[in-house]
Structure formats: C-alpha cells, structure tokens
C-alpha cells in the first residue's frame, strides 16, 4: 500500500525534464510576479511604480515598459536594493532565476517599445 502511494507521488517527477524548457521560458515572468509585481504593478498603490513615476517621470514609472535599463543595471539593483527597495539574496532568488528575470524584463521592454512605436497612442 505504502509503495503504491510512493509510486503515484513519484510519477510527476519523472515527467519534469520534458517540461523544463517551457518552465524556463516562464521562469522570468514567474520570478517577476512572485518578487517584484507587488511594488512594480500598474496600480496606484504599487510603491515602486509610484516612486519611479515621481523621480524618473511618468513614462518611466512602469518597470515592464522600460527600454532604457540594461540587464546589468537591473541585476545590480535586484541584488543590492535601492532606497526603499530591498535587495534580494541568492537564497531568495537564485542566479538562474535572476538571469531569467532580467531576460523577461529586457525582452518585455523591447517588445513594448516596439508596440508603442506602432500603436502611437
Ligand atoms: C518593497 C517594494 C519593492 C520590491 C519588492 C521591488 N522593488 Fe524595485 N523598486 C522599488 C522602489 C520604491 C524603487 C525606487 C527606488 C528609488 O529610486 O528611490 C524601485 C526601483 C527599482 C529599479 C530602478 C529603476 C530605475 O529607474 O533606476 C529597478 C531596476 C527595480 N526596482 C527592479 C525590481 C525588480 C526586478 C524587482 C523584483 C526582483 C523589484 N524591483 C522588487 C520597490 C520595490
């Protein structure tokens, strides 16, 4: 009976490697939603968005729409923090998760810059 339950529990682990690529693609967004969005969301109560709007200007308030930040800069801020923003330790956000997060943010900013250029609202 016990071995039976273990076999059922172990089954999804065997399927993991096949899903690894898809998971990696989503890892940056997942890290953003887990660690950053509460302060960098679009709403009026997101302190990061508010503070960046005040100090950098409204058009630079939203992290996911920035195209002026390099991956190196983003990674340095994430590790060290900046004023009210806390730094993140490797135990909270691994190097691989940080890489995926930086890819996500720099890809999102490039895409949104492109869509701003074509939508022109
Ligand atoms: C507790 C709230 C909070 C969290 C969580 C947070 N930030 Fe921030 N972040 C801020 C604030 C506030 C600022 C503005 C700091 C300042 O300039 O005074 C900021 C600024 C930044 C900047 C600097 C932008 C610029 O124009 O110089 C980057 C990059 C950044 N955050 C990325 C992130 C990323 C990536 C995450 C998730 C790993 C994250 N932040 C999580 C609050 C937060």
Q: List, in order of start, the domains of the chain with CATH numbers.
A: 26-119 (1.10.760.10)
pTM over 0.85: no
Span from the CA of 108 to the centroid of ligand 1 (angstroms): 16
33-78 per-position pLDDT tens digit: 999 999 999 988 999 999 999 999 999 999 999 999 999 999 999 9
Out of 28, 33, 40, 105, mutate this one to test ligand 1's pocket (max ligand atoms within 8 Å of CB): namely 40
- Where does residue 23 rank: exposed (0-12), middle (13-18), buried (19+ CB within 10 A)? exposed
Please state, in angstroms and rounded to a whole number, the distance separating the CA atoms of residues 103 and 117: 21
Phi, psi of 120 (to 5 degrees): 45, 60
1-39 per-position pLDDT tens digit: 566 666 666 655 555 554 455 565 699 999 999 999 999
Structure tokens at 52: 């960046």
Out of 48, 58, 93, 94, mutate this one to test ligand 1's pocket (max ligand atoms within 8 Å of CB): namely 48
Look at residue 39 and give its three-state secondary structure: helix
> DSSP assignment, residue 60?
G
Whether the per-residue pLDDT at 105 is higher than 70: the answer is yes
């Amino acid at each position: 009976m016990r071995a039976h339950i273990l076999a059922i529990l172990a089954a999804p682990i065997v399927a993991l490697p096949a899903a690894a690529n898809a998971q990696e693609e989503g890892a940056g967004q997942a890290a953003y939603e887990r660690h950053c969005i509460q302060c960098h969301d679009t709403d009026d109560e997101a302190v990061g968005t508010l503070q960046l709007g005040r100090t950098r200007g409204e058009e630079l308030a939203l992290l996911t729409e920035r195209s002026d930040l390099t991956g190196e800069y983003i990674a340095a801020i994430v590790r060290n923090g900046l004023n009210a923003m806390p730094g993140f330790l490797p135990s909270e956000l691994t190097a691989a998760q940080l890489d995926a997060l930086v890819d996500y943010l720099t890809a999102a900013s490039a895409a949104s810059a492109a869509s701003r250029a074509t939508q022109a609202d």
